[in-house]
Amino acid sequence: MYRIGNGIDFHKLEINSERPFILGGFVIPTEYSLVGHSDADVLLHAIADSILGALALGDIGEYFPDTDPKWKNMNSKLIIEKTLKLMHENNYGLINIDSTILAEKPKLSPYRLDIRKTLSNILNIPIENISVKATTTEKMGFIGRGEGIGVFTTSLLGSKV
């Protein structure tokens, strides 16, 4: 038995060298950072939502409301931990993920392998089962103007029983 889910997330981009730019748990060396209530890890958020989506268990906004001061500046790895726990409680395992990052800047292609390695540790699946792609929007829209970043993720889960 297989289940598939998709997750989408967007965060605002700003120039702020005080705040780390974290993508898939990996800190990208750049003057840019993402704005958000938590650590704004847009990739981990999309991945968590795709897993919750595959299980029809709602979305991360229900489990980690951005109105709750408890989650301010939270490490998004905690969101993934909770999501994986829910997945295992439902007797499913993660098979593979495919993510596409939409970003005009910063340049992400040099860090794709680092991001995949980090995700492999966080998600506890082989790196061969983790795809991270990056594209631009050809300068169109808010992403094209460098105002924000978006991520689309698809996850495939397999039943353990």
- Contacts with Zn ion, residue ranges (CB under 5 A): 9, 45
Q: Least distance (Å) from Zn ion to the CB of residue 59?
A: 10
User: What is 53-106 written as a DSSP string?
Assistant: HHTT---HHHHS-TT-GGGTT--THHHHHHHHHHHHHTTEEEEEEEEEEE-SSS
Give me the least distance between CB of 123 and Zn ion, in Å please.
Answer: 17
Closest CA to 79 of 40, 118, 135: 40
Q: How near is the Cβ of 91 to Zn ion at its closest, in Å?
A: 27
Residue with the CB atom nearest Zn ion in the bound state? 45
Nearest to 76 by CA among 20, 121, 24: 24
Q: Of the two residues 58 and 93, which places its CB atom closer to Zn ion in the complex?
A: 58
Cα–Cα distance between 118 and 127 in angstroms, integer? 9
Residue 49, number of CB atoms within 10 A of its CB: 24
Instruction: Closer to Zn ion by CB, 3 or 45: give it.
Output: 45
Q: How far is the CB of 44 from Zn ion (least distance, A)?
A: 8
* Closer to Zn ion by Cβ: residue 43 or 84: 43
Pick 9 or 104: Cβ nearer Zn ion: 9
